Amino acid sequence: MPPTYVLFPGRHHLVTRFQVERLAEILATGAAPAASVIWAVTSATHHGTRRNPLPAHRREAIIERVAAATGLPSLVAPVADVAPSDRFATTVLASVGLTLGLELTPESTVVACSTPEVTALYEAAGFVVLPVEDDRDPQPARPWDVLEMLVAQDERWRELVHPAAAEVYDRYGLASYVRDVHEDPTVSSEGDLTETRDYRTYTAAFDDASDRKWEQVGPFVRPGRVVDLGCAAGGLLERAARDPRLADSDLYGVDVSRHLVAEAEHRRAQGVFGHPNVFFAQRNLLHAPVFSPGSVTTTTTIALTHEISSYGDGVADLRLLARRIFEHTAPGGVWINSDVLGPQDGDRLVHLHLGGAATEEAVDLERLLSEEVAAFLEGLAPAQRLEQFARDFPALSGGRCDLRWVADGVAELPLRHAMEFLYTRDYLDNYLSECHERFCDMSYDAWVELLEEVGFTLDPGSGPWRNEWLVENRLEVRTRLTDAATGEPVPWPDTHVLFAARRVH
Nearest to 426 by CA among 492, 362, 478: 478
Q: 77, 96 in Cβ contact below 8 A?
A: yes
Amino acid at 82: V
Distance CA 165, CA 152 (A): 18
pLDDT reading at 189 higher than 70: no
Q: Report whether pLDDT(137) > 70.
A: no
pLDDT surpassing 80 at residue 200: no
DSSP state letter for 396? H
What's the rounded mean pLDDT across residues 262-291? 88
What does the chain come to in residues?
A: 505
- With 80 as the cut, is the pLDDT of residue 190 above it? no
Strand partners, 299: 227, 335
Mean pLDDT of 238-255: 93
More confident residue, 191 or 365: 365
Phi-psi region of 295 (alpha: psi -120 to 50; beta: other; left: phi over 0): alpha
Among 115-129, 213-227, 283-297, which stretch is predicted with the lowest mean pLDDT?
283-297
Element (H, E) at 181: helix 174-183
**pLDDT at 366 (0 to 100):** 82
Is pLDDT at 125 greater than 50 in this prediction? yes
User: Can you give the pLDDT at residue 124?
Assistant: 95
pLDDT of residue 30: 61
**Band of pLDDT at residue 191, cut at 50, 70 and 90:** very low
| pLDDT value of position 283 | 86
pLDDT averaged over every residue in the chain? 90
Position 275 confidence tier, pLDDT thresholds 50, 70, 90: confident
Region 251-278: mean pLDDT is 89
CA distances from 88 to 10, 76, 124, 242, 349 (A): 12, 18, 12, 44, 57
User: What is the pLDDT confidence band of residue 276, given thresholds at 50, 70 and 90?
Assistant: confident
With contact defined as beta carbons under 8 Å apart, do 420 and 337 qualify?
Answer: no
The three-class DSSP label of residue 356 is coil
With a pLDDT cut of 70, the percent of the chain lying above it is 93
199 touches 245 (CB < 8 A): no
Is 16 a residue whose pLDDT tops 80? yes
Q: Is the pLDDT of residue 198 over 80?
A: no
User: Where does the pLDDT of residue 356 fall: very low under 50, low under 70, confident under 90, or very high at 90 and above?
Assistant: confident
Average pLDDT over residues 171-191: 74
pLDDT at position 166 over 70: yes
pLDDT for position 370: 76
- Pair type for strands 250-255 and 225-229: parallel
Mean pLDDT computed over 413-431: 95
CB atoms within 10 A of CB 339: 21
What is the radius of gyration, based on Cα positions, of the chain?
A: 27
Q: pLDDT value at position 419? A: 98
Q: What is the pLDDT of residues 63-119, one digit of tens each?
A: 999 999 999 999 999 998 888 888 899 999 999 999 999 999 999 999 999 889 999
pLDDT tens-digit readout, 334-350: 999 999 999 999 999 99
Detail the DSSP E strand segments found in 240-327: 250-255, 278-282, 296-302
Quote the percentage of the chain above a pLDDT of 90: 72
Contact predicate 243/314, CB 8 Å: no
- Region 144-162: mean pLDDT is 93
Report pLDDT digits (tens) over 438-469.
999 999 999 999 999 999 999 999 999 999 99
